[in-house]
Amino acid sequence: MKQAPVVVVGAGIAGVACARELVAAGVPVRLVDRGRRLGGRMGSKRLGGRATDLGASYLTASDDDFAAVIDDWHRRGLARPWTDKFTVLDAGEPARETAGPLRWGAPGALRSLVEDLAVGLQVEQAAVVSVDAGPDDALRVDGAPARAVVLAMPDDQARRLLGPGLQHEAAGLDRPSEPIIALVATWAERTWDEVTPSGVFHGAFVNGDRAVSWIADDGRRRGDGAPVLVAHSTPGLAADHLDDPSGAVPHLLAGLGRILGLPAPLETHVHRWSLARPTGTRAAAFRLSDSGLGICGDGWGEAPKVETAWRSGRDLGRALAARWS
Ligand SMILES: Cc1cc2nc3c(=O)[nH]c(=O)nc-3n(C[C@H](O)[C@H](O)[C@H](O)COP(=O)(O)OP(=O)(O)OC[C@H]3O[C@@H](n4cnc5c(N)ncnc54)[C@H](O)[C@@H]3O)c2cc1C
């Protein structure tokens, strides 16, 4: 009889990294995502004829394995070194610059990198409703048998899928995520460089503003120089506007005016991330139970970022594949 596949639910970078490991080990995989396109929180949208990053702003690499993945993207023109310097805007203080690790962007937006990792994988578009264990303890995804199941998503989403026979697996899936609303704003020309001491604005950490927490220069990040900024809200503003994200727009525009002295943009686009970033910390890189239920994503590891999600998915894929080697 044909073996049931491992069902990987979620084709963000964690789920794709996990599925790749399983396929490489010869394990049959069914990769499912409810989104119209894969990539999850590395999402982007085509606006004004160009892709704009709406979720993750950039990649960083602190370990050699992820650095090698980025190097490969760089060699093939998919990723580009962006900057190691951002502006810091503290309320009431002069602007200053801070140096950090090299941040990477993608000319085709960050989603294109997840799409590249997924080459050769079939992604099925479907919203999974329930993952459960039958009386025989065999796992089922919406009633279909699965050899193992991977939930590659934030805790809040994973917990909701667990059926009555898997309620014991919900314990510890208690890392809440905070929301962010992203505003894309386009002008006719770039007029914000003078805000920063070096005269070249890449992005700014904004501290103490009630509406805006971060501003990215999408043209510099992507390398096409388009006069487009992406502002991320504070979690508080996002929480107040989860049901009407467009209600946050005037607050974000007022924030951009306050912080960068900008006039009204020509065009705007708003996107809500209800579960943008896991709060708190968790050291474990993934969870894998004896029953074959695996959980991975950016909530598993030191900091909730792309590198963490990639490593979590890869390591869970390897651990699962080792069960059948
Ligand atoms: C606004 C914002 C800014 C960020 N900035 C940065 C940054 O600058 N640098 C950085 O490194 N990281 C950043 N991050 C974090 C980074 O985006 C995440 O760490 C990473 O993308 C998480 O990947 P993941 O695969 O774990 O989860 P996700 O990308 O969330 O993938 C989960 C997938 O599961 C799917 N899914 C969920 N439920 C179901 C279901 N029932 N059925 C089917 N599919 C389902 C979803 O559609 C989604 O595609 C940012 C995130 C946001 C939102």
Report yes or no on whether pTM surpasses 0.95.
yes
Q: How many CA atoms lie within 13 A of 301 on its CB side?
A: 25
Contacts of 175 (CB under 8 A, 6+ apart): 154, 155, 278, 279, 280, 282, 299
Contacts of 114 (CB under 8 A, 6+ apart): 11, 12, 13, 16, 38, 39, 40, 42
CATH number of 1-56+110-176+281-325: 3.50.50.60
pLDDT tens string 228-271: 999 999 999 999 999 999 999 999 999 999 999 999 999 999 99
Domain 84-108+178-278 has what CATH class?
alpha beta
Q: How far is the CA of 87 from the centre of ligand 1 (A)?
A: 25
**Is 1's pLDDT higher than 80?**
no
Ligand 1 cavity residues, CB under 6 Å: 9-15, 32-35, 40-42, 55-59, 127-128, 152-153, 157, 161, 180, 182, 232, 273, 276-277, 297-298, 304-306, 309
What pLDDT score was predicted for residue 260? Answer: 94
**Is 10's pLDDT higher than 60?**
yes
Q: How far is the CA of 40 from the centre of ligand 1 (A)?
A: 4
The domain ranges of the chain are 1-56+110-176+281-325, 84-108+178-278
Distance CA 137, CA 145 (A): 11
The encoded tokens of residue 190 equal 């770039």
